[in-house]
Amino acid sequence: MSLHGKTAIITGSTSGIGLGIARRLAGAGANILLNGFGAAAAIDAIKAELSALGAKVSYSPADLTKAEQVRAMVAQAVSELGGADILVNNAGIQHVAPIEEFPDDKWDAIIALNLSATFHAVKAALPAMKAKGWGRIVNIASAHGLVGSPHKAAYVAAKHGLVGLTKVIALETANDGVTANAVCPGWVLTPLVEQQIADRARANGSSVEQERVALLSEKQPMHQFSTPDNLGDLVLFLASDAAASITGAALSVDGGWTAQ
C-alpha cells in the first residue's frame, strides 16, 4: 500500500489519533502536512521523526475554525509538498453538559471545528484532487456519528453531520477518482484517555485495569481499546488503491458499540 508521491494533510496531527495516522502514512511514503497545537520543540520532534521515515514534512498552525486559514493550509500543502492528494479531517473538541445548560459558545466552537472545518477543507482540496484524477478524503467521525449519548449534544450533532457530509462528498465525486469515507471509532487509547483512567483509579481507590474495563464497559461489549496505530492502519488502507471502490462508507472501529 505505497503512497509514494502523494501528499497527506492531517488535521489535529500533533498528538493522539492524528499523530498515529501521520506515522502510518509517512511510513507508506506519503509527504505529510501536520496541523495542530503544541510546543514548537515538540512539533519539531514530530517533524524529525516523520522525516526519518523518508517523508517530506511541513507544519501548518491553521486555526481550523477560520475558513481562510483552512484554505491557506491546503494551499500550503500544494505549494510546499506538491499536492493535496489525501485529506484526513481529524481535529475535534468535546464538551459535556445537558442541553439546557450547554453553553452557546461551546456549541458554536464544536460545530465549527468538528464539522464546518471539514467542509472548508474539502472545498479547498477538491479542485487539486480532481485535476489529478485521484484523491482520498477520510473524515474521523465517531461512534457518536451513528448513535447518541446524553449530554453530548454538539459533539453528536457534529459527528452525525460529518457522516452525512461524507456521503454527499462521495456521491459528488463518484466518477472523479476521489473517494470519501468516515471512520467511526469507539474508545481509543490516547494519552488523554490514559490520564482519565489514571484519575478514575485514584479517585475510586481501584486499579488502572479495573477502571479500563469499567470505562469500556459503559459502551463497548469488547473490553479492548483501539489505538491510534489501529486507526492509522485503516486510514492507510482507505488511502490506498486497494480501497478504490470504497466510498461513502461509515466504518465502525468500536468494539461492538454500535452493533448493540
Q: Which residue has the cell 489535529?
A: 12
Whether 59 sits among the annotated catalytic residues: the reply is no
> Which own/partner contact pairs does 151-154 have at CB distance under 8 Å and 24+ positions apart?
151/96, 151/97, 151/98, 152/94, 152/96, 153/99, 153/102, 153/107, 154/95, 154/102, 154/106, 154/107, 154/110, 154/111, 154/114
Helix H or strand E segment including 9: strand 7-10
CA distance 243 to 233: 13
Catalytic residue among 155, 187, 225, 257: 155
CA distance 254 to 222: 8
Q: Classify 51 in phi/psi space as left (phi over 0), alpha (psi -120 to 50) or beta.
A: alpha
**Kind of pairing, strands 86-89 and 7-10?**
parallel
Give the other-Cβ count within 10 Å of 106's Cβ. Answer: 17
Are 186 and 219 contacting, i.e. CB atoms less than 8 angstroms apart?
yes
- DSSP 8-state secondary structure symbol assigned to residue 248: S
What are the start-end ranges of the E strands in 102-218?
135-140, 178-185
Burial-class residue 228 by CB neighbours within 10 Å (0-12, 13-18, 19+): buried
CA distance 44 to 58: 10
Active-site annotation, residues: 155
